[in-house]
């Protein structure tokens, strides 16, 4: 297998993986409850918390000091429901045919066409050999960058980000991945508050935490990693040829 085929194969493998995930990924919101149903958390298809509800009778089911833990329990149950749905879809998808890789985005010509024209124009000269050497280097860059890119992404996804309500009575921690990992409520404040007010403040703090995380984590998972630039080149035949021939874009 030559370098061009290896690069094309990598793009197709990534595309098929993406298609399988799209076919099995959660599509609906899920709700989990705790404290005898008096605390409820709803997550969307991506696992992001969209709603936190503390019902009026919550004090009959859980002590104020355990309210944060109850929210986390309800969140975990929502995640379990989502995971169960994903598992069912994944098992069903195993019986489906392997996805066909989508073609690279339309361009005036494919990378293979561009490369062939580049070779035809220059014959077997040193420029061609240098271009193929750089293509080999690019493929090696992909392989060498896997571990480092995975480490960077893991650090971003596992880091925690704080959000509070406007009165700073509720503190919420989420990971860069969107996972809800911490909920703290000021106990003195909580004693005098109605469940509707507690619900509002919890939801406000959750949204603030997600905003903080969104500001810190790039929208593109690989942005700023060794694979970030290479990934963009895989779907841009012209830019890829420019990169290996060191032409001006």
Which of the four pLDDT bands, split at 50, 70 and 90, describes residue 118? Answer: low
pLDDT of residue 72: 98
pLDDT of residue 65: 96
For residue 188, give its domain range: 3-101+109-245
Least confident of 22-31, 124-133, 161-170, 240-249: 240-249
| 217: number of Cβ within 10 Å | 19
Kindly report, residue by residue over 193-240, the tens digit of the pLDDT. 999 999 999 999 999 999 999 888 766 566 666 666 666 665 565 666
- Read off the CATH number of the domain in which 57 is found: 3.30.1310.10
Which of the four pLDDT bands, split at 50, 70 and 90, describes residue 108? Answer: very low
pLDDT of residue 191: 93
Kindly report, residue by residue over 12-46, the tens digit of the pLDDT. 666 666 666 565 555 678 999 999 999 999 999 88
Tell me the average pLDDT across 64-83: 95
Of all residues in the chain, the percent with pLDDT exceeding 90 is: 40
pLDDT of residue 249: 40
The rounded distance, in Å, linking the Cα atoms of 175 and 47 is: 12
Structural domain tally of the chain?
1
pLDDT of residue 73: 98
pLDDT of residue 107: 46
Residue 183, beta-bridge partner list: 172
Least confident of 125-129, 172-176, 215-219: 125-129
Tell me the average pLDDT across 128-144: 72
pLDDT of residue 248: 42
The rounded distance, in Å, linking the Cα atoms of 46 and 73 is: 18
């Amino acid at each position: 297998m030559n370098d061009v085929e290896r690069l094309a194969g990598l793009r197709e493998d990534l595309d098929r993986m993406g298609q399988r995930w799209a076919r099995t990924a959660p599509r609906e919101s899920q709700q989990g409850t705790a404290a005898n149903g008096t605390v409820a958390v709803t997550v969307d298809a991506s696992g992001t918390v969209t709603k936190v509800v503390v019902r009026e009778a919550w004090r009959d089911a859980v002590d104020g000091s355990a309210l944060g833990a109850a929210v986390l329990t309800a969140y975990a149950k929502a995640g379990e429901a989502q995971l169960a749905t994903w598992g069912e879809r994944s098992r069903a998808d195993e019986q489906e045919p392997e996805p066909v890789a989508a073609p690279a985005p339309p361009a005036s010509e494919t990378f293979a066409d561009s490369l062939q024209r580049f070779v035809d124009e220059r014959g077997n000269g040193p420029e061609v050999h240098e271009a193929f050497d750089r293509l080999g280097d690019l493929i090696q860059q992909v392989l060498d960058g896997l571990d480092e890119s995975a480490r960077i992404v893991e650090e971003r996804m596992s880091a925690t980000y704080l959000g509070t309500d406007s009165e700073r009575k509720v503190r919420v921690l989420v990971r860069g991945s969107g996972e809800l990992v911490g909920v703290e409520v000021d106990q003195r404040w909580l004693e005098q508050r109605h469940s509707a007010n507690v619900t509002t403040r919890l939801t406000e703090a959750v949204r603030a935490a997600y905003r903080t995380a969104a500001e810190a984590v790039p929208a593109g998972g690989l942005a700023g990693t060794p694979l970030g630039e290479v990934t963009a080149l895989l779907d841009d035949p012209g830019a890829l040829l420019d990169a290996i021939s060191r032409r001006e874009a």
